[in-house]
Each structure stands twice: as C-alpha cells, then as structure tokens.
Structure 1
C-alpha cells in the first residue's frame, strides 16, 4: 500500500487535517470526501490508483480530525469551498487534479466555476446534487428544512465537543455499517477519526453536529445545468445505479448524458453499487479513474487498460 502521512495545516478558524499518499514531488491530486465523513473512506481506493501522483486528502472543517468553524453560525457549502481555497494556497498549487465524492464532488464543480484555470481534471464520484438543484415550487420546503430545522435544533447542534452525543462503541460501529453499508474495518477507521473514547466505556462523536443541516443555496435545476455544463475542465463522473434508481439525479438528469456538455469535456461511467461504491468496491471505479488520470478523456474514449 502507498505510504500514508498525516499532518495539519493552519486556516483562519483552526486546523485542517491532511492525509496524503505518495510522493510529494509527483503531480498533485486533491481528494475531498462527502459530508460527515473523513479521508479514511479513500484508503481502499488509494491501493488501486497509479503511483505516479501525489494524493492529498483534506478533511473538511468539522469532519474527521479537522477543527470546526466557529460556533453559532449555520454552515454553508460556500464556507466549505473556502477551506479548499485554504488548502490550495497552502501548497501553492497552480494546477491540480480534483477527486471528490458526493458533496465533495459538488465542491469540485463550485471550485471549477470560481477558478476555471486551476483544476486540470475533475473526478466526481456519484455527484448527487439533488440538495442543490431545487425546483422553485420546492423552495418553501427548502427554507423549512434549512432554517427552521437548524433554529429548532440550535442548542443541540452547537454543544461543545465534550458534551456531544455518545454511544457504545460497538453500537456506533454497527449503526455506521448499516447506514452506509460499508465494512466493519472501514467503519472503525472512520469512527476513529470523528469520535473519542469516554471514561465510562462509550465513544463520543466529535464531528460538527451542524453538518446534519449543511446549508446549500437553492438553485433551479435549469440554472444548475447551465452552470455545470459551462465548465470546460475535463470531467469524469462515476454514477452508481442505485443512486439513479432512487431518484438522486431526477433534477439533474443532464449529468447522466455526455452530450449535454457543449465543450465535449464530460464523460459518464455507470457502475453497479450504492453511494459509497469507492469504499466497498473500489475495483469497480479505479480503472476509470486511473485511465483518466494517466491519459485524460482519450484514455476513457479508447477504453485503454492499464
């Protein structure tokens, strides 16, 4: 397995935890997980990717071992975007590849829109954006779920870490295995990054509770389509069949169709499995990612094999 290193970098609000694999002299790939997750979810995939790149996994604020944003404020996806800016500035990258999962993919699209010349390739693992692309008729529901729910749970969401919810360790691991359908090994690795043991034999969750109502500004599906298809960066989207069946792409069906991107820079690959496919079956996505990393769009179009 590629050697893994871990350290912290400083941001204006606290520390961001970095978990990196590979040689720092190789071309960088910024790796970003989804909401309420950690860099540990990428370990199975890292074993299968080309060794010619330097994979830098960041843990978003309040996730994994990274410090949360200041208490009180509702957390917005745009705040999370700035944490990526902080990492890129720290490493002084002019160009880099971006690999994101779920909400991490959404941040990648946002970054490519804001800084179109910096991301050389964008890899989106099951980039469901149904929480962003909101039909106008559902805006009232969005307001209730975003603001009302946050205000109602304000005290619970803003408790200090030392007063956060706690569970029996085995119960917490079993719950994570069931909810995300990941292996016990991965669940334990994830738990280790956002929980701490207590004196009475329990574990206390240390991830930011406000992430349960992570705030996304609502955008109409047509506007999301106009924005995403305007990106000229080469993009590989890996979509799971279960997410499609569950309607996760119903408001963004253009993401399932390569022809909707006028620049011809978008490729979609369908794989069997559920949302955390890169964790439980990394072998189903690794060949696509590897070919795209090494050979770009041509590597996908030629169906080349490593």
Structure 2
C-alpha cells in the first residue's frame, strides 16, 4: 500500500440551498472517505501537505466551507455562524448517502467536528482534531459586548461594500504581498513559505490593477458568529461522545488547546481506549502545514486502526492491483458516477 497523491483527485460540487459546496475528493472514490474540514478564513488547500502522507486505500474529501475557497457565499442579509456550519456535515452525508462519517478538522473545522459528534455520536466512527477542541472562552467579559457590537457594524459595512461591488473592489496586492498579509493575519501561523497552499483557492485577479490580486472569499466570514461554550455544557458534550475513536493533536507553540479544554479532554479520555492525545514538536496552530510529517506519524496508525482496509478496497493485493493507474482511475470514476446517478433517481 502507498500514500495518496495530490494529483489524484476529483473536483466535486455538492448542491446546497444557497448554491454549492466545493471540494476535492482525493484517492479512492469507491469507498466512504474521511471528510476533512478546514479552519476559519482558510480553505481545503490547508491539507495539501498532509494529504500525500496518508494511506491510499482510503479517500479524503476536503471541502471549502460556505464563503471560503470556491464554495458559494450565503445570500445578502445572512450571516455566518458556527451553529450553521455544523449542518454542513449532514448535508454532505445526505449527498453521498452515508450513514456514518469519519471527520478530520483543523481549528474551526475541529470545533464543528466536536459539536456534530456530540449531537449525533451514533453517526460518527472517527474524529481527528488538529489543534482544537472548543472555542476559546471570552478573555475579558468587560469588552465582550463592545467587541460584538463592533463586529456587527463591520459586517454591515462589508455587506454594503459588496452591494456596490462594481464600484468598490477589495484591497489588492501582489502575490508576494499577499503571502505577507496572510502570514500577518494568521499571527504567522501560516508563514509565507506555506501561504501558497491557501492562496490558490482564495484570490482573484484585480480588474483595476492587472498585476495585483485580492482575497476572493466572502469578507463577511471574518465576522462569523462563534459560540461561548459554558464549562458544564462542554463537559456534557464530551460525555455524549462516549468511547468514540477521538484523536487530538496539539501544536506545542499554540495556545488553542488550553486550560478550558482540560476537563472535556479528561472526559473524552475516561475509560476510552480509543482516545489519543499528542503534542507536536514545532507545531504552531497550523501544525499540519509546519509539521505535516510529525502529524502523519500519529494520524496514519490511527486511521489504519479505526478505518482499516476492507476486502473490496482498490489498493489491496488482487486483480485490481494489476491495473494501470489510468485503468484503476476509470474503474473508480464509473463507480462514483453510478452511485451519483442512483442518488439522483431517489
């Protein structure tokens, strides 16, 4: 068995009431993949350094959240909310007729995975959470309401700007400048070296300045509604997950998995032989970009244990292994299209 290839993927468009969810399905198309969900302001490119290190017998479906990457934006007058993002998971499951889902999420994607798993634990068979579990608590209660009011005002300003989009283009930059802007916006968690993995799906060419580009994601996602999870609620959410296979990887240089996660992690770990927690050396918040190899050292055995190859897997020894890569791809494409045609007739 080998590892996945970044060049072996199928572009997918999952219908949604507001448009579509854009994604890339890497590797095996004949079996249920791992659903990978990126973090806030990122896109599916965030997994590009990790994908080639994962086993090739199981596919990985990476998606762009609404308003991010190449997925549709919400209609004017709507706002982005962590509560609504949770519904993306059952939407994808319904599209492909899955009764179970395997989740891998970074940052916001990891929070979404935790929320969904606590709400529908019987539909989840595995969770890999990259440098996150819960939203950070409010640091200063005295500034919470003024900050929320300011966020609301900025959201309205951005919406007005989009209504007059033919008159006002977002700030534009050269590609070199964009890498620095992205690094600064992520508190250098995404360094210029790795910015290229994210920029491909979130910039558009300026109509005013031919040599420049601007961020094409929906500017309103910067002001999405998060959720304050009270300690008691967080504990109960963790209890509902029970003994599900759950892995948390924390970047040693990151503070996102802090003291507010201690009790929920203890509950997840309690009497659960399938819970794993590791701290990754050299890892910032985007540890899967900076320390992809180190992350894979923990993730690959976890996947092999909880989603082992099945007898029908296309990468097992047998007749299919004798097929050329092109022939093998055609077999998967036919299976994928037949499955989709069946769903459309339901």
TM (normalized to structure 1)?
Answer: 0.86
1:165-215 deviation per Cα after TM superposition (whole angstroms, max 9, x unaligned): 222122112222354443546412312211100131321212122222221
Q: Which moved more, 1:158-167 or 1:62-71?
A: 158-167
| RMSD after superposition | 2.5
Structure 1 residues 30 and 144 mapped into 2: Cα distance closer, same or farther (>3 Å)? Answer: same
5+ residue gaps, structure 2: 308-346
- Asked whether the 8 Å contact 1:74–1:150 carries over to 2, the reply is no
1:224-273 deviation per Cα after TM superposition (whole angstroms, max 9, x unaligned): 12212331221001111112xx4751222235547753545422111121
Matches within 5 A, 1:124-139: 124-131=129-136, 133-134=137-138, 138=141
- Distance in 1 (alpha carbons) for counterparts of 2:138 and 2:189: 27
- Distance in 2 (alpha carbons) for counterparts of 1:85 and 1:65: 20
Question: Does the residue aligned with 1:229 lie in a helix, a strand or coil?
Answer: helix
- Distance in 1 (alpha carbons) for counterparts of 2:293 and 2:213: 32
Residue 17 of structure 2 is aligned to residue 15 of structure 1: no
- Distance in 2 (alpha carbons) for counterparts of 1:29 and 1:281: 20
Question: Does the residue aligned with 2:112 lie in a helix, a strand or coil?
Answer: helix
Which residue, 203, 216, 220 being the options, matches 1:195?
Answer: 203
Structure 1 residues 45 and 97 mapped into 2: Cα distance closer, same or farther (>3 Å)? Answer: same
Matches within 5 A, 1:198-237: 198-199=206-207, 200=209, 201-232=211-242, 233-237=244-248
Residue aligning to 1:142: 144
- Distance in 2 (alpha carbons) for counterparts of 1:49 and 1:231: 25
5+ residue gaps, structure 1: 298-306
Question: Does the residue aligned with 2:49 lie in a helix, a strand or coil?
Answer: helix
Q: Which moved more, 1:63-72 or 1:247-256?
A: 247-256
Residue 93 of structure 2 is aligned to residue 88 of structure 1: yes
- Asked whether the 8 Å contact 1:157–1:208 carries over to 2, the reply is no
Question: Does the residue aligned with 1:61 lie in a helix, a strand or coil?
Answer: coil
Residue aligning to 1:271: 280
Residue aligning to 2:328: none
- Distance in 2 (alpha carbons) for counterparts of 1:19 and 1:168: 27
Give the aligned length. Answer: 292
- Distance in 2 (alpha carbons) for counterparts of 1:127 and 1:97: 17
Q: Which has the higher strand share?
A: 1
> 1:52: Cα distance to partner?
1.3
Residue aligning to 1:254: 263
> 1:164: Cα distance to partner?
4.8
Which residue, 168, 173, 182 being the options, matches 1:176?
Answer: 182
- Asked whether the 8 Å contact 2:235–2:267 carries over to 1, the reply is no
1:147-172 deviation per Cα after TM superposition (whole angstroms, max 9, x unaligned): x0232213333232664522212211
Residue aligning to 1:303: none
- Asked whether the 8 Å contact 2:38–2:107 carries over to 1, the reply is yes
Residue 63 of structure 2 is aligned to residue 58 of structure 1: yes
Structure 1 residues 70 and 262 mapped into 2: Cα distance closer, same or farther (>3 Å)? Answer: farther
TM (normalized to structure 2)?
Answer: 0.77
Q: Which moved more, 1:234-243 or 1:168-177?
A: 168-177
- Distance in 2 (alpha carbons) for counterparts of 1:186 and 1:67: 25
